[in-house]
Amino acid sequence: MHQDTEPERFIAHIDMDAFFASVEQLDHPEWRGSPLAVGDGPRSVVSAASYEIRAFGVRSAMPVAQAKKLCPHGLFVPVRMWRYKELSRLVMAVLQRFSPLVEQASVDEAYLDATGLERLFGPPEELAATIRAEVRRETQLSCSVGIAPVRFLAKIASDYNKPGGQTIIHQHQVRAFLDALPVGKIPGVGGRTLEVLTGLGVRTAGDVLKHSATFWRGRLGERGQWLHELAQGHDDTPVTPFTPPKSSSAENTFERDTRDPATLRRWLLLQAERVGADLRAQGVRGRTVTLKAKFADFTQVTRSRTLAEPVNDTQSIFETALALLAELNPRQDLRLIGVGVSQFGQRPRQLSLLEPEAAARPRGALDSALDAVRGRFGKGAIVRGDLLNFDE
């Protein structure tokens, strides 16, 4: 009896190229080709760096003040997380067309189980090219794709031909690839582990196999066993389909410490708008609103309140955050403030026959209208009066 052989396992890692910076250049054509970093303010860090500004040594997680010294003529723009999440949802929707097994790893990257997809989309090389083309068609942004028999190699491969490229590793190529792979490129090998490995003469993943698993357990504990497994190309970690986030939040670090009530009020309103818009885009509501505050001395506190009914309208989030701020009653200046909503769940609201029509209308009706206008004409198309001329 003829028996079909099991298809070769393939995992794809899709990584958007300089995502935040690329979105800014997409929305502002006049910035394309210019050195640009997402991150502004003397106490901020760079969230993303365009390929043009990387030529000056600017990198993600670098203090903005340092980045501006390296590239004084560069463009430094504020983070617009709502916009990045918007385009991220489009990317994930594209990936879902290829496989139901898609795991979103962050706002700009995802894993996709590509095992068996060659029957629909051709060999891995063709699949990767099709994914890149579809993402660009839907978002006008580029991504890089890595495909390999195991998850960690797919992630490494996606970084090999950036931006806008692809790298495919077949099973028969794994050993040679690992033998030449710098051990520091293995995801999870950080500074301390790398120091130990370098001290033992380990330069590549192949060098790890010069010692037994017992040897590595003795040096690095369970992490040593894990490293030995990866060096052999073993990684059974599955692609876990997307699970909805458990919270949504927004926060800002001020250019100058403050406890001015009017300033804090406007920041809370802006953040409530961002969080509310994100919740509505996801189609979820949350019952717990949390206020986060960091003082000038870097001490941090949070205050939370659980509501009787789940909400996603800006006004309810804002009013609750404002009440929490009043309870906190800060006695010293703040350097950061933030708002979050969690404990998602949708409970139907029973309206009373005695409620006036205006009261019975959901508070989110205004938000829905604002979302529609902004979705069509852009975030700046309509602004709440309390936020007019408010410099983020």
CB atoms within 10 A of CB 364: 20
Q: Both 196 and 251 in a single domain?
A: no
Beta bridge partners of 353: none
Residue 254 phi/psi, 5° resolution?
A: -80, 150
Are 379 and 80 within 8 A, CB to CB? yes
> How many domains is the chain built from?
2
Q: Both 220 and 342 in a single domain?
A: no
Q: Both 267 and 377 in a single domain?
A: yes
Kindly state the tokens that stand for 363: 């508070």
Q: Both 306 and 200 in a single domain?
A: no
Q: What is the pLDDT of residue 380?
A: 54
Q: Both 304 and 367 in a single domain?
A: yes
Q: Both 383 and 255 in a single domain?
A: yes
Is residue 15 a part of any domain in this protein? Answer: no
Q: What is the pLDDT of residue 324?
A: 94
Beta bridge partners of 136: none
Is residue 369 a part of any domain in this protein? Answer: yes
* DSSP conformation class of 57: T
Closest CA to 11 of 134, 109, 138: 109
Mean pLDDT, consecutive 10-residue stretches, the chain (392 aa), reads 67 96 95 93 86 95 93 93 90 94 93 93 96 96 96 94 95 94 86 86 92 88 88 90 80 88 92 90 89 91 92 92 92 92 67 44 63 59 55 50
For residue 109, indicate whether it is catalytic: yes
Q: Which of 183, 198, 231 is the last residue of a domain?
A: 231
Cα radius of gyration (the chain): 24
Q: What is the 3-state secondary structure (H, E, C) of 279-298?
A: HHHHCCCEEEEEEEEEECCC
The span from the CA of 199 to the CA of 232, in Å, is 21
Coil/strand/helix, residue 213: helix
Q: What is the pLDDT of residue 390?
A: 52
Are 61 and 71 within 8 A, CB to CB? no
Q: What is the pLDDT of residue 348?
A: 44
Kindly state the tokens that stand for 370: 């604002």
Q: Both 219 and 257 in a single domain?
A: no
* DSSP conformation class of 238: P
The span from the CA of 378 to the CA of 43, in Å, is 28
Q: What angle do CA 152, 156, 160 make, to 5 degrees?
A: 160
Is residue 361 a part of any domain in this protein? Answer: yes
Kindly state the tokens that stand for 189: 């090998």
Q: Both 278 and 206 in a single domain?
A: no
Are 152 and 12 within 8 A, CB to CB? no
Q: What is the pLDDT of residue 205?
A: 92
List, for residues 355-377, the tens digit of each pLDDT value: 444 444 456 666 766 666 566 55
Selected catalytic residue, list 109, 126, 195, 255? 109
Q: Both 271 and 347 in a single domain?
A: yes
Q: What is the pLDDT of residue 361?
A: 45
Residue 258 phi/psi, 5° resolution?
A: -155, 155
Kindly state the tokens that stand for 35: 């050195």
Contacts of 366-371 with CB under 8 Å at 24 or more apart are 366/313, 366/315, 367/276, 367/277, 367/280, 367/312, 367/313, 367/314, 368/280, 371/277, 371/280, 371/281
Q: What is the pLDDT of residue 376?
A: 58
100 prior amide bond cis, ω within 30 = no
CB atoms within 10 A of CB 155: 20
The span from the CA of 200 to the CA of 183, in Å, is 12
Q: What is the pLDDT of residue 357?
A: 44
Q: Both 203 and 303 in a single domain?
A: no
Is residue 98 a part of any domain in this protein? Answer: no
Is residue 375 a part of any domain in this protein? Answer: yes
Q: What CATH number corresponds to the domain at position 195? A: 1.10.150.20
Residue 268 falls in which region: left (phi positive, over 0), alpha (psi -120 to 50) or beta:
alpha
Q: Both 348 and 379 in a single domain?
A: yes
> For the chain, how many residues are written?
392
For the chain, the straight-line distance linking the first and the last C-alpha, in angstroms and rounded, comes to: 70
Q: What CATH number corresponds to the domain at position 283? A: 3.30.1490.100
The span from the CA of 88 to the CA of 270, in Å, is 21
Q: Both 252 and 379 in a single domain?
A: yes
Coil/strand/helix, residue 338: strand
Is residue 83 a part of any domain in this protein? Answer: no
Coil/strand/helix, residue 182: strand
Is residue 308 a part of any domain in this protein? Answer: yes
Kindly state the tokens that stand for 353: 């026959």
Domain encompassing residue 192: 174-231
Q: Which of 207, 231, 255 is the last residue of a domain?
A: 231
Is residue 218 a part of any domain in this protein? Answer: yes
